[in-house]
Amino acid sequence: MSAKRITSIAILTAVALTIFIAEAQIPVLIAVPGIKLGLSNIITIVAAYLLSRRDAGIIMMLRVFLGSVFGGSMLAFFYSAAGGICAFAVICLLYKIFDEKQIWAVSVFAAIAHNLAQLVIAVAIMNSPAIIWYAPWLVIAAVVTGAFTGVAAQLSLGRLKNLNVK
Amino acid sequence: MKSISNLKLIVIFAALILASAASILIMTERRQDALIAEIYSEGKLLYTIDLNKVTESYTIELPHNTVLVEHGQISMKCADCPDQVCVRQGKIKNGAYPIVCLPNRVEIRITNKAGVDAVTGR
C-alpha cells in the first residue's frame, strides 16, 4: 500500500466523517423514521470513481464505524453498516454499466438499496413486520436524496479530476 | 457502455416516486372499524388499548417516552431522543403507519384484530 493511497483514504475518510457529524447536527425535516440526506455518501461515490472501488469500500466502513463511535450508538452502527454495505454493493455492480456522466443514477440505485436494507434491519430490531409499510416513503426519499448526493458527487469528481489527485 | 439514456432513467425514477406516492395515499386513507392500539417496547407488547372505548384522554409513561391516548387516536407526546421523529409523526388513527421511535425501540401500532377484549395497563 503506497503512502499516497493511505493518505487519499485517510483524507477522504476524514472528509466523510466530518460531513457525517455535521449532518447529524441538522434537525430532520421530515417526520418519517429513518429518513436523512446522507451527505457523507457523496464521498463513497467520489472515492469509487476517483480511487478504486476497494478503497471506497474501506472508506465507507471506516466512516460508518467511526461515525457510530463519535456520534451514534450500537444500534446506529447496525443501521449504517447494513445500509452502507448494500449501497456499496450496488455501486460496484453498476460501476461498469453507467459512465461518469450518469453517476447520479448509480447514486439513486445505491440510495434505494441503502434505505431498503435499513428498513429490513429496522423490522428485525423492532421485531415488527408492520414497519415494512414504510417502504414507499423510503423509496421516495432515496430517489430524491440519492439524486442530490449523486449530482453533488458527479460535480465534485469533475473538479477533482482536474487536480490529478490519483 | 451506455445502455440507458438519462431520459429513460428519469422516467423510471419518476414512475417509482409516483407508484410509491400512490401506495402511501391508499394506505393513509384506509378506514377501519376496530382501533386496537398496541404499544411495544424493545419488541415486547406492553399495552393493548381499544381506542374506541377511551372516553377521557390520558398518558402512559414509558422509560424514555410518553404516549398520549385519546378517543380514536393515539400519539407520542414526548421522547428523550434528539431527533423527536416519533413526536412529530403526530396522531395515528389507522393501521397504515405505526409510530416508530428507532433510538428507544418503541413502537405504537394499530391493528384491526377485532374482538380483543383484554385491555391491559389501564
CATH of the domain at B46: 2.60.320.10
Instruction: Give residue ranges of B with CB < 8 Å to any A CB.
Output: 1-4, 6, 9, 13, 16-17, 19-21, 23-24, 27, 40, 43, 83, 85-86, 88-90, 95-98, 100-103, 105, 107, 109
Encode pLDDT of A63-86 as tens digits.
Answer: 999 999 987 778 889 999 999 999
The domain of B6 spans 1-30
Is the same domain home to B68 and B100? yes
Q: Using only the alpha carbons of chain A, give its radius of gyration.
A: 15
Model confidence at A27: pLDDT above 50: yes
Q: Which residue of B has its CA nearest to A138?
A: B20
CB pairs under 8 A between A and B: 91
Residue B25 maps to a domain: yes
Tally of domains in chain B: 2
Domain A3-162 class in CATH:
mainly alpha
pLDDT in tens, chain B (122 residues): 456 888 999 999 999 999 999 998 888 877 777 789 999 988 889 999 998 888 889 999 998 899 999 998 899 988 888 778 888 888 888 877 889 988 888 999 888 665 445 455 44
ipTM exceeds 0.90: no
pLDDT at A136: 93
Encode pLDDT of A80-120 as tens digits.
Answer: 999 999 999 999 999 988 988 899 999 999 999 999 999 99
Model confidence at A25: pLDDT above 90: no
